[in-house]
Every structure is written in structure tokens, then in C-alpha cells.
Structure 1
Amino acid sequence: MDDASELVGSQDGGLIAQENDPVQQAPERKVVALTAAETTPENPWPLALLSQKLKAHIEKAPPAWVEGQIIELNKRANVSYLTIRDVDAEISLSVTVWGSVLSQLAAPLERGSRVVAQLKPDFWMKTGRLSMQARDIRPVGLGDLLARIEQLRQALTAEGLFDPRRKKKLPLLPHRIGLITGRNSDAMKDVLRNTALRWPAVEFEVREVPVQGVSAVTAVIAALQELDSDPVIDVIVIARGGGSLEDLLPFSHEALIRAVSTATTPVVSAIGHEADRPLLDDVADLRASTPTDAAKRIVPDVGEELHKVEQARGLLNRRISQLLERESDRLAQLRSRPVLANPQSMLTVRAEEITRFSGRALLAVQTQVGRHADRLTHLRAQVRALSPQKTLDRGYAVAQLEDGSIVRHPSHAPEGTPLSIRVAGGALAAISTSTSDD
């Protein structure tokens, strides 16, 4: 492009023309607005000037590496026209790739492939069309995708999002199940059919959403948050019937993984893909290998449960019968014992013991009474032998004064002292006539 048409920035961000611009010096335009903001209906820019300045401005933009997915691919001679869509948003961009760039690839590009490309914007002045030129393009292989997933897995593991202690226990018998799956998909049919076969009374709240493509992550997260906020939902199942690694990439998206980790309702991952497991399997409270397996693990089998009930009843009846038989045998054994066969014998034995003990006690008492009676007689004889009366009976007498005191010395009863003489047969009155110390 000629320097005369070079675009420079003004203070107000407009487009200004330099003095040596050939369009400005054209004889039919004596005065040309310096900036785009200064143009008026009476003093417009020529369209060629605007196109030149746009082209100059766009060519200053540096090339940039971008990542996306090829959704359209048209090959025409030595040039290919691609439409690349962002992997996380509904944004597409048309890209032109020359044959020299494509010839450097080991394998031809295909629709649906994920690529990284170095793009440079280009403005075609003749038609005023803006296009993106691919200076280099490289497919994103499975190895690169797996490496990214593994890197994210390690980072989320370090945060503790996959810690088994965070996992919530599923209810034994959920009454209402939230199901997030593809529209009219086989995965949805498998879950609904197999769950109904196992437990007919279970109810579902189904959310049909895209399960692949750029809108999958946003749609699944919105459905998850809606079901998680419903208090009647006991468990949420996210189901998809397998697919390629690229198809399953939404289920390894960091935003979805964090949404599942913050959900208060238990979440079951039912992505039918054994190899290259998505990160959803690691963060979910329960991983099912397939949607059918999820149906088997979220509800019990009514037939099996009824069979278990019958087994429990049979076991209970056997235990009760065994208990009754054992206790009946014990009662029969107790009843056959002599003490129960003839209860009066026990009383007879005790009565005989009481009679024997009573006789022994009476004999012991009588022996003690006789022994003590003999001792009492002996002591009575001793007392009587030593009594004053016995002394009087032997001929002794006791002299007493009038006050009852005993005369123990002749000096106690001077001549003329009245005395009372006690003998064995009674008492005599006397008067002391003389005293002697003999």
C-alpha cells in the first residue's frame, strides 16, 4: 500500500488522512476531512479512502494463534475455506488456507477436527470483505488433548475436588431422580427403561440438553444447577452413551467439574466410555460405566428386594421356630425334674429339717436349763450355808442396841444398856449387867 494512504491515529481515535494522500489532493476534492469523525454529508470521504485506511490499519494487527474446531471445510483448487468455531462459545470465524500451508500437514484436515492456527486478518478492498488468512495450522491430536485433561486432573486433585471424603452417599431409595442427557438419546431411554424395570414407582425429572459441541458445557451446568436447587430431587444422573474423546471433552471442562463439586445433591456420572475417562467420573459422587449401569446402581431391583424380604421372613420364621423348640425342650427338662414333678417332696424335706433342727434346739435348751438349774441349786446351798440364819441355827446369838447396831465389844454395851438378843428362834430383850473383856 502507498504511504500516501497510511493510517495514523488521532487523539480522538478517529482515522485521519495525511497531507500527501493522493485522494486528498484530487482536484475535485479541495478540502478533505482529516479524521473520520470530521466527515459530514456535505464533505464525505471517498469510499476508496476509507477502504485504504481500513486496510492499512488491519495490516498492522499482528498474527495470533487461536484454537477451535473445524465445522465447515470447502476445498477449491489451491485454496481451502474453513469455518472454525470456538470450543467453548457459539462464535465462528471464516478462515482462508492456501495449499502451501495445507501441504505441510501430515494428514488432511477433516470436519470436526480440533486445530490451532496462526491467523492474520486481511481486508479485501475491492469488495470490502474482511477475511482471516491462516499462515500456519496444526491439528490438536489426541495426545495433546489427553495431556491437557491430565494436567487439569492433577490441578483439581491438588485442590481436593476429587477427595473421596467429599463424595456424598446416594439415598437407598430415591423417590425422584434428575436426569441430564441428550435430546431423545439412547442413554436417556436406557436409564428410564432399566430404572423403571427395577423400581416402577421411581419418578424422573428429565433435562434434555446438548451433550457435545460448544453449548454442551453451558447447557449441562444450567440443568445441573436447576435440578440441584429442587428440594424434591434426591439424586442427579448425567448420562451420555459414549463417544470419541473429542465428543466427551465437555465432560472434562473445568467449569462443569467445579459445578458438580459444589452441588448439594449427589451426582452420578454415567458416561459410557471406559477408556480415557472424563474428569466428571472423578468428581461425581458415583461413577457408572454406562447409563444402564447407572440405572442398576441408583435404585434397587424390586424383584431382588422382594426375594430378600422373603428370605428374611423365612430366616425369621426359622429362628423363631428354633427358639420355640429350644425353650419347649428347656421347659420339658425343667418339668421332668423331681422338684417340679413332685413339688411336695421339697416341702417334706424342709419340714423334716425344721423338725430335726427344732428337736436339736429344744434338747440344747433343756440341757442348758438343767445345767444352770443345778448350778443355781449349788449356789443357793452355798448362800444358805453362809447366811446369818444358819449361824444362828448353830446356837449363836446377835446382840443389838436399841438403834439396831450390833454390839461387837463389851464397851459398846455398858452396864444397864438395853439390848435385843437375836437367836435362831426369835429375839429376846435384855439389859447389860456387867462387862468383861474376856
Structure 2
Amino acid sequence: MALDTSPQQPAPVRVISKLIGEWIHRLGPVWVEGQVAQYSRRPGTQTAFLTLRDPAAEVSVTVTCATRLLDAMEVPLTDGVRVVVHAKPSWYYTRGTLSLAADDIRPVGLGDLLARLERLRKILAAEGLFDAERKRSLPFLPRGVGLICGRDSKAEHDVLENARRRWPGVRFRVEPVAVQGVSAVSQILEVLRILDRDPDIDVIIIARGGGSVEDLLPFSDEALVRAVSAATTPVVSAIGHESDTPLVDLVADYRASTPTDAAKRVVPDVREELDRVARAREQIRSALRRRLDHERAGLDSVRSRPALADPHHALRVRRDELTHLVDRARRSMRHLLDRAASDIDHTRARVRALSPAATLERGYAVVQRADDTVVRSPDDVEPGEHVRLLVAGGVIAATIDDPPPVEH
């Protein structure tokens, strides 16, 4: 039930602390897993004190236990060892601190660790964190390389030495961290975020030398694996030897077998690149020579053609063609004119044959009245009427006499 408080009636700190203790007391005994961060055993006492820490978070708790439990352990208890304790949480309300009173403590064996890592691997794989599609390609020549490694470690030396031997101008930002132990994960996470936010860093290398499975456990931590997956900068994993496969290797954008291999992967070899440039130049020169030879041969072939060997030849050919066409046009035109003249003569002859003038020339005459109407019948004129006779030679005036009698 929520505590009824107000600005006028606040609860004292001791009350809040006591209520917290009551809530914790209800939790009862629990099994807790953690990494031993600090272990102390006072001589002459039956009680030992150790601090359990969660490597994925800045959380730790004090554990008290009987020394006989530690003496019964098969593996000596040291800092960095993962253990499982059965303990009852206790809250010291006067100091406001949480502690665990352990009645059983067990080291996490190698088999248990591997089984847990396999379960975690399957979970992360099912989420798609290891898919090849999400891995980013590394830059050809990074402006800056972030290196996460142990302080003054052989891994640092191998990466820097081999990278600078390959490309002397490469710029590194080295972030030394603890690569094993209780603080390794938190330190690696912190510098990973710092390097990922640095705009001058184009690739990040996480490097560590070889070690046991327990030593490499920080690089299989779920929080670190998810942080590498979420990073926007490509990450190269170079943990241990080639046979070592922590989970960071699976989520990284490139998995290097060794720190030396990581150095070879993130920067090109200047000698190899110069050789490639030289070969490319020679290939370009050869291609240009072949192209020039091909074009020169084409020009020689064109120049050897008659049209270019004798430039006037084409003009003469076209002149002859033009002369032939002009003669042909003239012949066609004369033929057309002759045929048209013949047609006109024939038409004129037909017109003349059909013309009234030709009929008049044969002795016929056309009789017209004074109003120019043609007389076609004797009944069309009256006796004494003046008419005109059109003959071939001209016009003859005449007068109509009495009509002759009609013969029966």
C-alpha cells in the first residue's frame, strides 16, 4: 500500500528505509548470479565478505557467508570468477544498504558457461543480430580508426605496428580498457559509445589477445553484443586466436582471426596499392596504344580509298552523272514536246474537219435573217425578206422571192 505523505506531513528517512527493508524481507531466499569483484577474508573469523557485480550494469551487492562454504569450493575464489549464491536479502535500514546472507555458494563451471552462451547465441540469432544482411562494409581508407584494447597489450602493439607498416599515415584513437574482470564490460561499453559518436572515426576495432573461456567472457556479454549491433560505425572484432569465437565475433561487421588480421583488414597496404596503381597505369597506356593503333589503321584505310587518294574522282563521277541526267532530261523534254505538237496537229485537223468553214468551202451556204438567226426551213422566211448568205468567200446579200410552187 502506498505511503500517505504530503509536503506538510513528510515521512522521515528512517521510515522509508524501514519500509524498504520490510519489502525486501518478503522476497525470501533467492539464487543470484554475479561476478566476484572484491573478496576479503579476515583471519581468525568465520565470516567472509565479497562483492558480487553484474558485468552488464553498474550494480553490485555485498555478500556475507561462512568461511566453511568457501573452503568447500573445488575452485579457489578469486576476483573475476562467476558464482551462483543462495542467499537471503537483508536491508540495513540505518545505513540504507542492501546485502545478501549466503548459505550456499557455487562456482559457475565451464560447461554451465558454455551452455548459457549457447542459449544466448540462439536468442540473439533468432532476433537477427548475426544476419549477414545487416553487416556493413568497411571503408577502403578510414580517416580514423578507433582501437579498444588492453593498456600496453600485445594486441595493441600488433594492430598499431601492422597497420602503420601497411599505411604509415593511418590515424588511431586508442582507448585502453580492462579486457577481463568485473569492470571489462562497462569500460568497453563506455568507450564504444564514445568512439561511435566521434565523426572522425570510420571504423572501430575491439582487440584482445588469447585467453581461456572465462577470460573472454566479457566479449560474450549480452549488453556488449547488443551495443555492437546498435553501433552506427562498422566494428571489427579481433578477440583471441582464430579458434576463439566469442559472441562479439558473430555480431561484428567483420571478424578478424587475430589482431594482426584486423590491422590488415582495416587499412590497405600502401605498397600493394602503389603496385595496383602502376599496373592500372600500364593497362591504361596499353589500352591507349591499342586504341591509337586501331584509329591509325582506320585512318590509313580511309586514306587509301580512291575517294581520298584522288579527291577529284568523286567530282568527275558526279559530273558525268549530272551530264547524263541533263541529256536524259533534254531528250525526255523533246520527246514530250514532239508528242504534244503531234497531238495538236491531230486535234487541229479534227477541228477543221468538223468546222462549219470546211463545210462552206465545199459549196454550202448558211442563210441568216436580219436578226442573225439561222434559217432552217423555207417557212422561216417571208417573200421579200432580206437575208445574208454566208459562203466560204464571204457574205452575200439576198432577197427572198415568192416561193416556187410545190411539186406533187
Alignment TM-score, normalising by the size of structure 1: 0.74
Q: Deviations over 1:330-381 (max 9, x none)?
A: 1111111112211222222222222223223322322232233223223212
Give structure 2 stretches of 5+ with no counterpart. 1-13, 15-24, 90-98
Going from structure 1 to structure 2, the CA distance change for 1:84 and 1:433 (only over 3 Å counts) comes to: closer
Counterpart for residue 332 of structure 1? 300
Instruction: Tell me the distance in 2 between the aligned counterparts of 1:385 and 1:163.
Output: 111
Q: Is the deviation greater in 321-330 or in 181-190?
A: 181-190
**2:63 aligned with 1:109:** no
Instruction: Tell me the distance in 1 between the aligned counterparts of 2:265 and 2:47.
Output: 50
Question: Helix, strand or coil: the match of 2:333?
Answer: helix
Q: What is the one-letter code of the residue matched to 1:163?
A: D
Going from structure 1 to structure 2, the CA distance change for 1:75 and 1:246 (only over 3 Å counts) comes to: farther
Counterpart for residue 210 of structure 1? 178
Q: Is the deviation greater in 354-363 or in 135-144?
A: 135-144
Q: How big is the shift at 1:259?
A: 1.4
Question: 1:237 aligned to 167, 181, 205, which one?
Answer: 205
Q: Deviations over 1:138-160 (max 9, x none)?
A: 44332221111111111111222
Question: 1:246 aligned to 192, 214, 217, which one?
Answer: 214
Q: Deviations over 1:178-211 (max 9, x none)?
A: 1111111111111112111122222112111111
Q: What is the one-letter code of the residue matched to 1:154?
A: K
Mapping of residues 35-434 of structure 1, within 5 Å:
68-69=35-36, 86=53, 88=55, 93=63, 95-98=65-68, 102=72, 109=76, 111=78, 114-116=82-84, 138-434=106-402
Instruction: Tell me the distance in 2 between the aligned counterparts of 1:115 and 1:175.
Output: 43
Instruction: Tell me the distance in 1 between the aligned counterparts of 2:32 and 2:232.
Output: 40
Going from structure 1 to structure 2, the CA distance change for 1:144 and 1:419 (only over 3 Å counts) comes to: same
Preserved CA contact (<8 Å) 1:74 1:82:
yes
Give structure 1 stretches of 5+ with no counterpart. 1-36, 38-57, 122-130
Q: Is the deviation greater in 245-254 or in 185-194?
A: 185-194
Q: Is the deviation greater in 310-319 or in 62-71?
A: 62-71
Going from structure 1 to structure 2, the CA distance change for 1:421 and 1:84 (only over 3 Å counts) comes to: closer
Question: Helix, strand or coil: the match of 1:379?
Answer: helix
Structure 1 vs Structure 2 CA RMSD:
3.2
Question: Helix, strand or coil: the match of 2:390?
Answer: strand
Q: Which one has a bigger Cα radius of gyration?
A: 1
Question: Helix, strand or coil: the match of 1:430?
Answer: strand
Q: How big is the shift at 1:91?
A: 5.8
Q: What is the one-letter code of the residue matched to 1:188?
A: E
Q: Percent identity?
A: 49
Question: Helix, strand or coil: the match of 2:243?
Answer: coil
Preserved CA contact (<8 Å) 1:66 1:118:
no
Q: What is the one-letter code of the residue matched to 1:219?
A: Q
Q: Is the deviation greater in 317-326 or in 157-166?
A: 157-166
Q: How big is the shift at 1:82?
A: 8.5
Q: How big is the shift at 1:80?
A: 11
Q: How big is the shift at 1:221?
A: 0.4
Q: How big is the shift at 1:164?
A: 2.0
Going from structure 1 to structure 2, the CA distance change for 1:284 and 1:85 (only over 3 Å counts) comes to: same
Going from structure 1 to structure 2, the CA distance change for 1:67 and 1:381 (only over 3 Å counts) comes to: closer
Going from structure 1 to structure 2, the CA distance change for 1:68 and 1:434 (only over 3 Å counts) comes to: same
Q: Is the deviation greater in 260-269 or in 131-140?
A: 131-140
Q: How big is the shift at 1:215?
A: 0.4
Number of equivalences? 367
Going from structure 1 to structure 2, the CA distance change for 1:365 and 1:353 (only over 3 Å counts) comes to: same
Alignment TM-score, normalising by the size of structure 2: 0.79
